[in-house]
Structure 1
Amino acid sequence: MKTQATLLIGAAVLSVTSCDTKNYTEEDRVRVTTNLENYVDSVENAVQFVPVHNWEKIDERYDSLDDRAEKVYNDLKAEDDNLEMIEERYETMVKNAKTESENFERTAEMHMNNVETWWDKTTADVEKGTKNTAEDIEDATQESLDWLEKNFDKLGDETKKKYEEISMKLNKD
């Protein structure tokens, strides 16, 4: 009888410990889903204002949040439809944002090249004795200067530096 009781207790303990123990709660699932959604929302908002980003860092953070969410969902054996929708939204947003960023960079480069070409041409005239004035700026060049000034905070460092050098020299004259 004593052996039978020991076996029954041992079996009960074994069945309790062998059951799939959950490390996470439904609250954890909601929290990780909300964190992931909020992150995607913040990236989506950021790309609307500033076209140039460090996508490697953004992807690393997204992957970290997504991995955490997947662990919680797997532990709870929950359907991950929410995660799939968030991932699809994120991937679409990143693809569109990278395209916008490339377009912005091409536009910035075009305007900077226009200004540099004009600057190189007028600098050669200055060496010949012709004074360079703001009235001499051609319409297309002025449009490029205006665009660069308007989008200055969004420009890459190299373009900012070039723009500042030409602006300083132009305002000096």
Structure 2
Amino acid sequence: MKTKATLIIGASALAMFSCDTKNYTEQDRVEVTTNLENYVDSVETAVKIIPVHNWSVIDERYDSLDNRAEKVYEDLKVEDDNLEMIEERYETIVKNAKAESENFERTAEMHMDNVETWWDKTTADIEKGTKNTAEDIEDATQESLDWLEKNFDKLSDETKKEFEEISLKLQKD
């Protein structure tokens, strides 16, 4: 009887471990991989269009998709080479985009500083009685105004506000 009970318990345990039922299917693996790739593609496209982003939100969504994919791959006991390649690509995109964003911000700041310096000088001259017109705008300042106007939608909120204030005052004068 003891042997029979041991065999039954052993068989049950063996059946439990050998039946290791999977929660996910191959279709789930393809789906999570595609979702992750599509997200990385959309991030890559977005950073080409607009240089300034909320990286914590982007990273949070990526991490969520990546964690889900890792669970599926782990459950299916599949090598995650695809995930590693996607992660490397994502990290490269983010690194390059952040560098590009910093460069854009530096450029915007340089142009805004140029315009503000010109504006401060111009308003000081007006207070002395000298009237300046749009024709008096120096080439470098006009180039900065043009650049800021062209890239207005991509500027930070603070820079947009500063540019709008100066543009309105320029139109009044």
Using structure 2 for the length normalisation, give the TM-score: 0.93
Shift of 1:47: 0.2
Aligned pairs (5 A) from 1:48-127: 48-127=48-127
Question: Which AA in structure 1 matches 2:62?
Answer: Y
SS at match of 2:88: helix
Aligned pairs (5 A) from 1:1-173: 11-19=10-18, 20-173=20-173
Shift of 1:15: 2.8
Moved more, 11-20 or 65-74: 11-20
Shift of 1:5: 7.7
Structure 2 Cα separation of the partners of residues 159 and 166 of structure 1? 11
Structure 2 Cα separation of the partners of residues 154 and 9 of structure 1? 70
Structure 1 Cα separation of the partners of residues 106 and 128 of structure 2? 33
Structure 1 Cα separation of the partners of residues 4 and 164 of structure 2? 87
Question: Which AA in structure 2 matches 1:15?
Answer: L
Structure 1 Cα separation of the partners of residues 50 and 147 of structure 2? 15
Shift of 1:133: 1.1
Using structure 1 for the length normalisation, give the TM-score: 0.93
Structure 1 Cα separation of the partners of residues 70 and 25 of structure 2? 13
Unaligned runs of 5+ in 1: none
Structure 2 Cα separation of the partners of residues 32 and 3 of structure 1? 49
**RMSD (Å), alpha carbons:** 1.6
Shift of 1:112: 0.1
Identity of aligned pairs, percent? 80
Structure 1 Cα separation of the partners of residues 5 and 30 of structure 2? 42
